[in-house]
Amino acid sequence: MNIEAIKSIYFFEMARTRRTLLQSVVSPVISTSLYFIVFGAAIGERIQEIDGVSYGAFITPGLMMLTLLTQCIGNGSFGIYFPKFTGTIYEVLSSPISMLEIVLGYVGAAATKGLMIGTIILITASLFVDLSIAHPFAMIFFFVLTAVTFSLFGFIIGIWAKDFEQLNLIPMLVVPPLVFLGGSFYSVDMLPPFWRAVSHFNPVLYLISGFRWSFFEISDVNPLASAVIILAFLAICMAVLTWIFRTGYRLRN
């Protein structure tokens, strides 16, 4: 294992966060504050509690997941796409670095950035509502596993994308609607039977539900099912990446 190579890629990607501190850190904090102000004022007055949890606290796991998914996918995809765009990816591919070391460097940095922003969102949320974490180890498990899985997914998107339009297609047009329709701001039990059944085909529902269970011991689906869904998606992403590096798909063209 070439530890120095992993560290070089990792710290290079982390340095990009320091250069764009305003965009990387301040922007998510402002967005989260606006969510609490708008939803807390507009909806919180009408929905005081959901399953015995105050509405402001109830939406906190959903807001964290929204930020975590978008940040991890965005950082993971841009981290590998930009070397492709500039042509420096060939220096990485021709160096004595294995597939695993490349992935650990880029995905590790993207997941770290996502976890940092998610933690900042949690701290920001605690300024607006009273939060308690019923199962801290389960919370960390869902938090870290989701960050790694979707950073890996973003890495695949970065390899697949041919231009900046494709790079932003899934993070901007697919992920936010899935998160909003996945029970971020409501319980799917509040929906009519038909739409409740449709919601169970949304994979993001399982992420948010499992994460929310670790906070308040309430969930729309079985927490074990949530963990299985994330692990299954992680396995799929790993299989796809293995195929990409074996075939050189969109890396050696």
- pLDDT tens-digit readout, 20-62: 777 777 777 787 778 777 776 667 667 778 888 888 889 899 9
Q: How many CB atoms lie within 10 A of CB 232?
A: 12
pLDDT at 139: 96
Using CA atoms in the order 237, 65, 227, 51, what is the torsion angle rounded to 10 degrees?
-160
Q: Print the domain residue range for 122.
A: 3-247
Instruction: Give every residue of the chain whose pLDDT is below 50, as ranges.
Output: none
Say how many domains are in the chain.
Answer: 1
Residue 252 lies in a domain: no
Query: Do 117 and 28 meet the contact criterion of CB atoms below 8 Å apart?
Result: yes
pLDDT at 50: 85
Q: What is the pTM of this model?
A: 0.91
Tell me the per-residue pLDDT of 155-186, one tens digit each, with 9 for 90 and over.
999 999 988 888 988 888 888 888 888 888 88
CA 198 – CA 201 distance, rounded (Å): 6
pLDDT at 155: 95
Residue 235 lies in a domain: yes
Residue 30 lies in a domain: yes
Q: How many CB atoms lie within 10 A of CB 123?
A: 12
